[in-house]
Amino acid sequence: MDLTEKISGLPGAAPLDGISDAWHWSPNPRFNFFAALTEDGKHLFQVNVMDACDQDLVRALLRFAREHSREATAPGRFLVPITGFSHPGYGFDTLASVPPGVHGYLAREHPDLHAVAYAVFPGYRSEFSGAESEDEARVRVRKMLRPTTLGREPVPFLKMRYDNTRTKSRSTGSERGLATLPVLLQELALLQQAPGSFVEWENRHGDIWQARWDDGLRLQGPSVPDRPADSDGLLAFAEKTVAGSPSPA
């Protein structure tokens, strides 16, 4: 398949100013699609944007992706974070690349293009472990990270499980599952006066902590011996372990 011919032939597709071998098309006023050839010309990098669209940011994304083509298209990985990306006016510090099958771009309309397209979008280093399974990557990209929204806030990588004897709420199964920081902080706050309850969480580095109520709040984890913790300190500590550098609770 000649990718240049194929992309150029899409309805409304036109060359993207300022970057070679790149195109832009818009199927309706809310959506803007962009694609650029990889360095070797064998694959595509695609950026999809909903609503507010900053084409300068998109160009920067496509250039950065092309400069890191080999890493961005590395086989066997389902969500590849590449640090060092930035653009004026945004807090992003990472570009993420997602292989076909994990993203759904072009899958129904143009399956032949989907098969060679890597979705790329700007992100934050705290959002990626770099070792996501295919299922985890699919959930992160399609349900949690909102990659088509350029003005989004960070959604740090987090896995957790919990059981609360007072609220009768608990996670499903015995494994830690993907979650969001607000859910973690809420469940930690609900540990108060809940004997036998616990919250266990894992950050992008694979570090695991557990807080529980045992005649008071207690915390244990990497380099943290089992010890008492106060509620406000516990919440601040948990947030830092997920979204930044941890400090003592």
Is pLDDT above 90 for 57? yes
Q: Which residues lie below 8 Å from residue 211, measured CB to CB, with a gap of 6+?
A: 188, 191, 198, 199, 200, 217, 218, 219, 229, 234, 238
pLDDT tens-digit profile of 8-52?
Answer: 999 999 999 999 999 999 988 899 999 999 999 999 999 999 999
Angle at 53 between CA 52 and CA 57, to 5 degrees: 135
- pLDDT at position 108 over 70: yes
Is beta strand 94-98 parallel, antiparallel or unpaired with respect to 80-83?
A: antiparallel
Least confident of 72-76, 94-98, 206-210, 224-228: 224-228
Q: Are 184 and 201 in contact (CB under 8 A)?
A: yes
| Confidence (pLDDT) at 245 | 52
- Is there a contact between 152 and 78 (Cβ–Cβ < 8 Å)? no
The pTM of this model reads 0.92
Number of H helices, E strands in the chain: 7, 13
Query: What pLDDT score does 95 carry?
Result: 98
Per-residue model confidence (pLDDT) at position 249: 45
Residues 81 and 72: their CA atoms lie apart, in Å, by 8
Mean pLDDT, all residues of the chain: 94
